[in-house]
A and B are shown apart, each in its own frame.
Chain A
Amino acid sequence: MTQLYLYGMTRAGPLPAGLAERGIELVAADGRAAIVSSIESSPVTATRRNLLAHAEVVERLHERAIVLPARFGTVVADRDAALELLALPGVAALLDEHADRSELTLRGTYDESVLRAIAPAVAGLREGYRAAPTLEGGLALGEAVVEALAARRIRDTEEVLSALDPHVVGVRSGEPRGEYGAFNLSLLVTRDAVATIEDELELLARRLSPPLRFELVGPLPPYSFVELELGVPA
């Protein structure tokens, strides 16, 4: 039986070019719309292609209007089921609440020159290791470097957060990427704050770069800020 894969929910309106040809439809009622496509079977597996397709659809639609992304893998039985979801009061409230909002991902990563800044703090251990490169000496030195890096990470993250704080609605902090990762933040912002945040990043980069590099992704749908669990009444 054909079911509908649910990408998310949005305001009713036209589909961006190219999505209809790929089987994406809007099931609309009362100005709200479920973003769906027909699938032959469920569950939908977490393949590379499926994950990228989900991201592309919600992100492209979000360029035009707010999208509340559904969790990957959500399937509804048919159009009636999609309409039932749209009619839930929580959906209308979230669409209103997030109407002009987006999520930005902001990652900070150090380049290796951060070690140059840290070196003076571990000078004693470093000299000891240079004189006699033992395993114990190497571990002690490495551990001291990792600790110094962690302290710097906390300091820099606080500086970034306090600079951005006036311009964001919400923040979620995730795991930084890799050994040189400094922070990995999800920022909930209004769309008109995006340019301001870009300007703030320029100022932050003047103070913190090098060694800190910034990576800003978005505006994305508010993936990290739609935790409302919707239950269909029995």
Chain B
Amino acid sequence: MQQEASSGYITRAPRSNGLADVLEILLDRGLVIDAFVRVSLVGIELLTVDLRVVVASVDTYLRFAEAVNRLDLRAVDDSKSVPDLFEKGEEEGAEKKSKGAIEGGMDAIKEKVGLGGRGDDEDQERERSRSGRRGNDRG
């Protein structure tokens, strides 16, 4: 294809990639088989509560205020004509930011579900009762 410029903005993956994808794409979805005695279904829906990132918070507002404040608007006033060099710096920043947000979310998930690398086989109940603890369960 000849649209190389736009292709740079499309990431393609054939399969779900990593735990974040799996939690989002697969957990709580799929056929529910309600067959009483012969089938048991784990009550994992409990675990997906509270995983949402709260977007509109004071913290968010202040970070956006700082980010907008940092912009040098004299350089350009049309977002479509931003020079390449400038663009690169912005992209890196964005990547770091979203990575941080995801990791933050994943910490919360780990605490809830016990999905840390170490705690793989630990009992969910025990893991959940330890929520509140933070930081020492990063692999």
A: which residues have CB within 8 A of B? 6, 8-9, 42-49, 51-52, 54-56, 59, 68-77, 81, 84-85, 94, 105, 109-120, 122, 126, 129-130, 133, 137-139, 141-143, 145-146, 149, 174-175, 177-181, 184, 186, 198, 201-203, 205-206, 209-220, 223-224, 226-232, 234
A-B residue pair count with CB separations less than 8 angstroms: 292
Whether A116 touches B39, Cβ cut-off 8 Å, given contacts A142-B65, A202-B1, is no
Q: Are B60 and A179 in contact (CB under 8 A)?
A: yes
- Looking at the complex, which one of B14, B17, B69, B93 makes contact with A130 (CB distance below 8 Å)? B69
For chain B residues 48-106, which have a beta carbon within 8 Å of chain A?
52-53, 55-56, 58, 60-69, 71, 73, 76-77, 79, 82, 87, 90-91, 93-95, 97-98, 101-102, 105
Q: Are B120 and A49 in contact (CB under 8 A)?
A: yes
Whole-angstrom CA separation of A55 from B10 in the bound complex: 23
B: which residues have CB within 8 A of A? 1, 3, 5-19, 21-42, 44, 47, 52-53, 55-56, 58, 60-69, 71, 73, 76-77, 79, 82, 87, 90-91, 93-95, 97-98, 101-102, 105, 113-117, 119-121, 123-124
Whole-angstrom CA separation of A195 from B25 in the bound complex: 21
Q: Are B15 and A126 in contact (CB under 8 A)?
A: no
Whether A146 touches B61, Cβ cut-off 8 Å, given contacts A49-B120, A52-B22, A211-B79, is yes
List 19 contacting pairs A-B, 8 Å CB cutoff, sorted by A.
A46-B124, A48-B19, A54-B22, A69-B29, A71-B28, A74-B31, A84-B38, A126-B68, A133-B69, A141-B61, A142-B63, A145-B61, A178-B97, A179-B63, A217-B14, A226-B29, A226-B30, A229-B32, A232-B38
Main secondary structure of the interface of A (DSSP, over half): mixed
- Looking at the complex, which one of B9, B21, B41, B97 makes contact with A180 (CB distance below 8 Å)? B97
Chain B residues in 8 Å Cβ range of A180: 94, 97-98
- Looking at the complex, which one of B15, B35, B52, B58 makes contact with A139 (CB distance below 8 Å)? B58
- Looking at the complex, which one of A42, A113, A211, A230 makes contact with B35 (CB distance below 8 Å)? A230
Whole-angstrom CA separation of A116 from B68 in the bound complex: 7
Whether A175 touches B94, Cβ cut-off 8 Å, given contacts A51-B27, A74-B41, is no
Whether A139 touches B68, Cβ cut-off 8 Å, given contacts A72-B27, A202-B3, is no
- Looking at the complex, which one of A74, A112, A210 makes contact with B33 (CB distance below 8 Å)? A74
Whole-angstrom CA separation of A142 from B25 in the bound complex: 31
Count chain A CB atoms within 10 A of each CB in B17, B37, B38 and give the residue with the most.
Answer: B38
Measured CB to CB, the nearest residue on chain B to A215 is B11
Q: Are A210 and B82 in contact (CB under 8 A)?
A: yes
Whether A59 touches B16, Cβ cut-off 8 Å, given contacts A111-B91, A142-B65, A215-B11, is yes
Whole-angstrom CA separation of A215 from B18 in the bound complex: 14
